[in-house]
Structure 1
Amino acid sequence: MIVRVLGSGRPLVALHGFGVDHRIMLPLADAVKDLPWRLVLLDLPWAEAAAATATAKSAVDVADEVLADIDDHLGDEPFAVIGNSFGGMIARHVAHERRDHVLGVATLAGVLHPAHTDRVVPERSVLHTEPSVLEAAGDAREAFEEVSVIQDAAAYTAFERYVLPGLRGADPAVMDRVAADYALDAVPEERHPGPFTAPALHLFGRQDDVVGYEDGLALRDHYPRGSFVVLDGAGHNVHLEQPGITAALVRDWLARIDR
């Protein structure tokens, strides 16, 4: 469900992660606002704006709905796609299923293995904490602490603005349905084994204990035009904890597409 379009130019489709909504992708708007790209933001079925009419019962259903939305909205217009977490898995699917129309693909802490037990992840760690920030977080403290590696005022402000509204608005019934069948029917790179030759970016947090980074690095030979970056001082919300570097990497990715 396309909910917002920001800017003008070629389309950059943005797909958020599980249990949140499109707002977690809004920091990308600042990264591309002076570039000839328009940010096309989708809400996946559990998001508050989409849940009332959601019928998806699996990751495959979500992927099919995203492809249908993109086809309806963009037609034959070439586009780039970027996804975060679960949205990263869907973005790779979109990029391979619509390879003839996709200018490039990027993932931010993207899911590679749907089952947590199959993932290679580091042990949970927190690198920096400001106790006063945690004390002021109130009922959002647990959710912030659970995922954040950098627990300072800037990180909490980003979490409160971009993550918390989606967490609070997510429909648990829809999430339960999709979580019960969280895998695609085939790994995109295995269904389409030929190298993906358009510019790519795969960004990971070194301290990401949700999806890790080792599994993603294993895809490097499939993306000969891919930048694979592991950022220290970042967990699963890598683009919120390291916004400046993320913005620079996204801009570099889009510049490679432009060239």
Structure 2
Amino acid sequence: MPERTSVRLNHVERGAGTPVLALHGWGPDHRLVLGCLEPVFADRTGYRRLYPDLPGMGKTPAPASFSSSDDLLAAVRDFVDDTIGDVPFLLVGESYGGYLARALTRSRPGQVLGLALICPVGTKLEHAERTVPEHQVLRPDPALLDSLDDRLAELVRDNVVVHTPETVRRFREEILTGVDLADAEAISRIRLRWELTEDPEGGAPFDRPTLVLTGRQDGAVGYLDQFALLPHYPRATFAAVDVAGHNLQIDQPGLFNALMWNWLDRVTAES
């Protein structure tokens, strides 16, 4: 059995029933995935949602011994052992969290009932190697941006495709608050060894219900590199959503919810 890590992940839990583990992306904390998933489960009972902070992010520390993505993945595996055990569970990963989720699926294919990836890192881990479009603001609101402080206005302009008071609120509360908590030294150290030792798609194809959500205006991870993942996930629904950037769940919440509900229905039908 692999040696346990020295870190326990801070986490928030909601509901009861089939476990749903949700992993946020690089820099923010659990509030990103909590904010986008809780509306999905608002009218669905029977799910125990688990939202951990990854090491170095949110309220989970990353000791000096943590220096790679392998260390983060090991901490997530320990979290599964401690909070879920050997019970089958659903797995959701956003951005970099999708990279870890795919690796976790490889190591526990019989335990993962279904996999949902939200704007995940695709086949190219490093940004310079990715095929990405330019970020575009397709629904601007200049007056709204003028009402914000300079830092928030710039971040919204660079990260949100649809500018409304609601998208600004969600970006500030679900994403920016977590980014401001991140341990800059720790994530810089881990970032130097970002690539996992084992390729997440290096094992057998994952043949359970999968969802891959991407944004056509996502200037961070794009949508073409994720399409190349599909042979490994033969049961995947793939969506490249227009008027959506890297925060697709904020730009297009209605479509996001509908596609997530469809994924849950597919998982339920096979469970």
What's the counterpart of residue 159 of structure 1? 171
- Residue 206 (str. 1) matches residue 216 (str. 2): yes
More helix by share: 1
- Residue 100 (str. 1) matches residue 110 (str. 2): yes
1:28 paired residue among 29, 37, 55: 37
Q: CA deviation at 1:2?
A: 4.4
Query: TM-score scaled to structure 2, two decimals?
Result: 0.91
Q: How does 1:31-180 map to 2 (within 5 A)?
A: 31-35=40-44, 36-51=46-61, 55-112=65-122, 113-138=124-149, 139-180=151-192
Letter in 1 for 2:147: A
Letter in 2 for 1:120: T
Q: Which stretch shifts more, 32-41 or 51-60?
A: 51-60
Quick one: distance in 2 between partners of 1:200 and 1:176? 31
Q: CA deviation at 1:79?
A: 0.4
Quick one: distance in 2 between partners of 1:63 and 1:121? 26
- The list of structure 1 runs, each at least 4 consecutive aligned residues, that deviate by more than 3 angstroms after superposition, is 52-55
Quick one: distance in 2 between partners of 1:127 and 1:54? 42
**Secondary structure of the equivalent of 1:51?**
coil
When residues 155 and 75 of structure 1 are mapped into structure 2, their CA distance, relative to the original with a 3 A threshold, is same
Letter in 1 for 2:126: A
Q: Which stretch shifts more, 13-22 or 109-118?
A: 109-118
Taking every aligned residue pair, what percent have the same amino acid on both sides? 37
Quick one: distance in 2 between partners of 1:81 and 1:95? 8
What's the counterpart of residue 242 of structure 1? 252
- Residue 3 (str. 1) matches residue 11 (str. 2): yes
When residues 54 and 20 of structure 1 are mapped into structure 2, their CA distance, relative to the original with a 3 A threshold, is farther
1:215 paired residue among 222, 225, 235: 225
Quick one: distance in 2 between partners of 1:131 and 1:108? 28
Q: Work out whether residues 20 and 48 of structure 2, in 8 Å CA contact, stay in contact via their aligned partners in 1.
A: yes
Query: TM-score scaled to structure 1, two decimals?
Result: 0.95
1:224 paired residue among 229, 234, 237: 234
What's the counterpart of residue 233 of structure 1? 243
What's the counterpart of residue 5 of structure 2? none
Q: CA deviation at 1:84?
A: 0.5
Q: CA deviation at 1:55?
A: 4.4
Q: Work out whether residues 2 and 69 of structure 1, in 8 Å CA contact, stay in contact via their aligned partners in 2.
A: no
Q: Work out whether residues 93 and 117 of structure 2, in 8 Å CA contact, stay in contact via their aligned partners in 1.
A: yes
Give the number of equivalent residue pairs. 257
Q: Which stretch shifts more, 176-185 or 140-149?
A: 140-149
**Secondary structure of the equivalent of 2:201?**
helix
Quick one: distance in 2 between partners of 1:158 and 1:80? 25
Structure 2 segments unaligned to the other structure (5+ residues): 1-8
Q: Which stretch shifts more, 116-125 or 225-234?
A: 116-125
Q: CA deviation at 1:68?
A: 1.1
Quick one: distance in 1 between partners of 2:146 and 2:65? 39
Q: Work out whether residues 7 and 33 of structure 1, in 8 Å CA contact, stay in contact via their aligned partners in 2.
A: no
